[in-house]
Structure 1
Amino acid sequence: MYSAEINRTRPALLLFAIDQSFSMSEPWSETGQSKAEALAAAVNNMLGNAVLRCSHGGEKTYNYFEVGVFGYGQDVGPVLYGSSRENPILPVGFVADNPLRVDTVTRRVPDGAGGVISAQEHMPVWIDPLANGGTPMVAAFTAIESVVSRWCADHPTSFPPIVINVTDGASTDGTPDEVGERIRKSSTDDGPTLVFNLHLSGLPNQAVQFPNSAAALTDPNAVMLFELSSELPPSMLDAAAGMKYPVRVGSRGFLYNADATSVIDFLDIGTRSVTPTGLAELPDSERKALGDGKSLPRGGEDA
């Protein structure tokens, strides 16, 4: 399982469910931003990195995977720019060519002589922060369930879908365990759908990272999210171990009280698993651009 070759005729699916409730307007730890702002930045960064990985360091972006982003707060539905309720997932080549906008940001970068300088860089944006309403997690998972089921039926030989839910609180419309279990039971020939959960915290609490048991979890919401999460397949265990996370056999795709650094790592682990090229296979120039957040190659190519 979880070994299907990913290519343009057998793409993978990466789906996000992102909490856009009112509580996401609260400050997020040391970032200096609200949770909504920091999460939007992390997802935009992940999408930019994914575009680079699917470009082979060149000008064309190959459709190795499809992506969808569902927001849930006052409303529930697709929020990735260019998507819609009728067309909630998009090929990565389309994403590369169609950002919402390209912002110019100022970063402090090494000057090559031991110092730092300010440099302006172009950063594509596909989603904006939003924080309003409750936390209808059941509705979000229900909307995603039909997308996953249909995609699995249409792509029976592909790597199974990966669903990543990011929230800062408890569901306000019931417990999503039943719909979550149905999503995890949907599958391709290569294995069941993977469901991962990431809990954000504005408090300096110790994070729970990739546990293999709920024994140490005292918060009922944490237990619920843990039980909703899939075990990491071997490739993801290796990726997490390579980032020095304390993973072991049975570790689940679950982080609780996560800080900004671990959120970025978590999204990166999932993205690496659904793209056939990693950083080590990119030319040095493109690897540096990826690490520095430089502008992205353009020109998607259809599968």
Structure 2
Amino acid sequence: MADKFGNASHSKSVELANAINDVIYEVGLRCIGNGGELKNRFELAIIGYGKNDDKVQSGWEGQLTNKWVVSIKNIFDYPLGQDNDKPIWIQPYATGSTPMTKAFENAKRLCNDWINWGNHKECHPPIIINITDGEATDSGSNFHYLKNEAEQIKRIGTNYGAVNILNIHISSRSGDRVLFPNDISNINDKFAKLLFDISTPLNENMIRLAQQKGYNIQNNAKGYVFNGNATDLINFLNIGTPQ
């Protein structure tokens, strides 16, 4: 994540942090009622790695340090700072290894805990958005540890459907962008195939949003992007966020 993001003047980690902060802000704006009050319509978790070797941690900092799932109201109550007159919550980090299996294990635990708390069985199922530029360092032979975690997650759900897993692969390889495909047999990259395989199909709402943003969506398109640019990253996060 320390490498430059395409032709941008800054790194992938900076671009990613900026994108996440922008999307959190947009989600918050969508939760403002007619009277100007911020309604608790979303709860978010940020799972990060690259700050401490072989460990995953909550990406929240400041007043939200050590918290995992946080309501949108609490998120807006405790920003980390301001940038261009907008609140920010996430800072970029680009060191250490890529313990992606541990991140998915943590996501599975958070999804289970959230679904089984209160009346969340009657809510929209959780959405996991995984953004990476590197191969998992703890996935085992033929990625079997990571595949197993993803398959377990896909069996978790609410009364409104199963958990969604979306992946954006910020590749360092040259080549065409592959956006929400239903097949990637033309990509000779075993990690790309893994991320495509563990991604879930786009639901009807995601397909509608993707089409509105100009993406050509085929039947059985999956929530996967390969070699996406900065605009694709922002769009992907918006498409993956319930409206």
The two structures have a TM-score, normalised by structure 1, of: 0.73
Question: 1:218: how far off?
Answer: 1.5
Q: 1:151 to 1:30 in 2, by over 3 A?
A: same
Aligned to 2:180: 210
SS at match of 2:169: strand
Give the length in aligned residue pairs: 232
Structure 1's unaligned 5+ residue stretches are 1-23, 106-121, 276-303
SS of structure 1 residue aligned to 2:7:
helix
User: Among 127, 135, 139, which residue is 2:98 paired with?
Assistant: 135
1:246: how far off? 1.5
For residues 7-44 of structure 1, give each alpha carbon's deviation from its aligned partner in whole angstroms, at most 9, with x where no partner exists. xxxxxxxxxxxxxxxxx111111221101011000000
One-letter identity of the residue aligned with 1:192: A
What is the distance in 1 between the residues matched to 2:197 and 2:121? Answer: 26
Aligned-partner Cα distance in 2 for 1:71–1:209: 24
For 1:31-83, what per-residue CA distance to the aligned partner results, in whole angstroms no more than 9, with x for missing partners? 21101011000000000111111114653211111001000222311112344
Q: Quick one: which of 68, 73, 76 aligns to 1:88?
A: 68
The equivalent of 1:159 in structure 2 is: 124
Task: With a CA cutoff of 8 Å and minimum separation of 6, indicate the structure with the bigger relative contact order.
Answer: 1
CA distance in 2, matches of 1:264, 1:204: 21
Please state how far the C-alpha of 1:97 moved relative to its aligned partner.
1.4
Identity of aligned residues (%): 32
Is there any run of 5+ residues in structure 2 with no aligned partner, and where? none
Q: Work out which of the residue numbers 266, 269, 272 in structure 1 matches 2:236.
A: 266
Tell me, yes or no, if the aligned pair for 2:166 and 2:240 is still in contact at 8 Å.
Answer: no
Q: Deviations over 1:117-159 (max 9, x none)?
A: xxxxx02110100011011100111111111111122211110
Letter in 2 for 1:189: N
Counterpart amino acid of 1:30?
A: N
- Quote the offset at 1:270 in angstroms: 1.5
* TM-score relative to the length of structure 2: 0.91
Where 1:55 maps in the other structure, the secondary structure is coil
1:84 to 1:179, Cα distance in 2 relative to 1, 3 A: farther
In the alignment, is residue 219 of structure 1 matched against residue 189 of structure 2?
Answer: yes
Deviation at 1:201, TM superposition (A): 3.2
| 1:71 lines up with 2:41 in the alignment | no
Counterpart pick for 1:247 among 217, 225, 235: 217
Distance 1:55 1:180, change over 3 A: same
Answer with 1 or 2: which has the greater Rg.
1
Report the RMSD for the aligned CA atoms in angstroms: 1.5
